[in-house]
A = this chain, B = another copy of it.
Amino acid sequence: MGSEGTASVDIGSINPKVYKCEYAVRGESETYPQILEQQLQANPGSLPFDEVIFCSIGNPQALGQQPITFFREVLALCDHPSLLEKSETRNLFSSDSVARAQKILSYFPGKGTGAYSHSQGVKGLRHAIAAGIEARDGFPASADDIFLTDGATPGVHCMMQLLIRSEKDGILCPIPQYPLYSASITLHGGTLVPYYLDEATGWGLEISELKKQLEDTRSKGLSVRALVVINPGNPTGQVLTEDNQRQIVEFCKKEGLVLLADEVYQENIYVDDKKFNSFKKIVRSIGYGEEDFLLVSYHSISKGYYGECGKRGGYMEVIGFSSSIREQIYKIASVNLCSNISGQILSSLIMNTPKRGDASYESFTAERDGILNSLARRAKAMEDAFNNLEGVTCNKAEGSMFLFPQIRLPKKAIGAAKAAKKEPDVFYTLHLLESTGIVVVPGSGFGQMPGTYHFRCSILPQENKIPAIISRLAAFHESFMNQYRD
């Protein structure tokens, strides 16, 4: 068949913004390792390694991290409320899981977790989240400011969609950055205005750099609408100091920028001398009130010690916008009806964990601290390992789930990469994968200072695998350098 012309949809006839969009942490960086993994399963021994290890993405439960029992108990009970009427349930679930599930179900008319909720999310869950934010910050939070989302991603798209009118609208983003920001800005037709983090000062965020980039951009006739800050940093792992955060807030205030604060790693801090401060707390502690400052803070159930990536939950706290703009944000949310209820429930749980005296408190605390302490040890072990490699330097992972080491590649390696028509960092990480099965993401996917080469490596493989990963990495690096040393 196919007599007349089949509908013509080709690369030349699709939305060029889609074509231009790049997303380094998925696509080829994911599919090629998957092919190798399938090859290993079909034909064990056919590759120089036994296992593909995904250090490429922040996906803890894919690498064996177990979910937090309390969270899953509550979720199962909310999924199947008739369990609450059975006597056997008392033996299977902790008493505070049962109580929490009953409380959550009371927010739903008829206990119906299968209904669309309010497009901002179930009101009772938003109240619970606001209470969690208040407890964290020591400043009031309102359920009306919370928009529950399927992970942080849709919230980022929402604000980009709202703020970007054309390529004349710029969004200040850190470089290196998490590629959701570049992808979302491209898809919505805006311009990414880069500001470079200073690797020499532990990925420092300098106000002078923000000013310089802002002024350069404005001098080209662009309008800069917002500043993206990722704290703790992804892919860079730094944690901002309170002083630095105050400077950032004052900069946004002075320059009339919306502050988009990616705070999804707020639970992931691994060093004693740093602590997480939300930008909401900073804004309020300076004294800016409800109408003085425009802030959107993103949080997610995918990170922290819980790592519930597959459940797709999160929220944005939207501060300072006029009621007419909030209506527009609500409209964008409402076109997607609502975020999934399991993700909404989990979002309320991560902001309201078991309290001292609750039946689950000890086991919950042990699970949480076990994961966070192990992550801290893994971060340190991998940082040390990278710093022991020839020509490699690696800043501390103060927080988040990633290290972003710099590799000083020999000219010969850069030449070989060019001959193979690859970026030098891609060339290196591809060789690493094919020699060791270790998957990392080349720095070019996040942005890096021209002439420097990095990769992003997660600290998420289970702790007992870290020594083997480090030794394979070291052996590969030595052999790579032996091959290409100038």
Contact = CB atoms under 8 A, between A and B. Distances in A.
Interface in A283-340: 286-289, 291-294, 302, 307-313, 320-322, 324-325, 328, 330-332, 334-340
A331 B27 contact: yes
Contacts of A252: 7
State the oligomeric state as a number of copies.
2
List 8 A-B pairs, minimum CB-CB distance, nearest first: A26-B334, A62-B115, A76-B80, A61-B114, A312-B340, A310-B341, A2-B292, A88-B88
Contact of A332 (B18, B86, B188, B322): B18
Nearest to A346: B114
A328 B19 contact: yes
Contact of A114 (B1, B311, B320): B311
A84 to B, nearest CB: 11
Interface in A1-38: 1-2, 4-11, 13-16, 18-19, 21, 23, 26-27, 30
Contacts of A153: 335-337
A406 interface: no
A5 B102 CA distance: 47
Interface in A48-104: 57, 59-62, 64, 67, 69, 72-73, 75-77, 79-80, 82-83, 86, 88-89, 91-92
15 contacts: A1-B287, A4-B254, A7-B253, A9-B294, A9-B325, A11-B325, A14-B163, A16-B165, A30-B334, A57-B116, A64-B110, A76-B83, A153-B336, A153-B337, A309-B337
A18 B91 CA distance: 51
Contacts of A294: 6-7, 9
A334 B28 CA distance: 11
A265 B6 CA distance: 28
A163 B9 contact: yes
Interface stretch (A179-187, A239-247, A395-403): A179-187
A161 interface: yes
Contacts of A457: none
Contacts of A425: none
A112 interface: yes
A154 interface: yes
B61 A72 contact: no
A383 interface: no
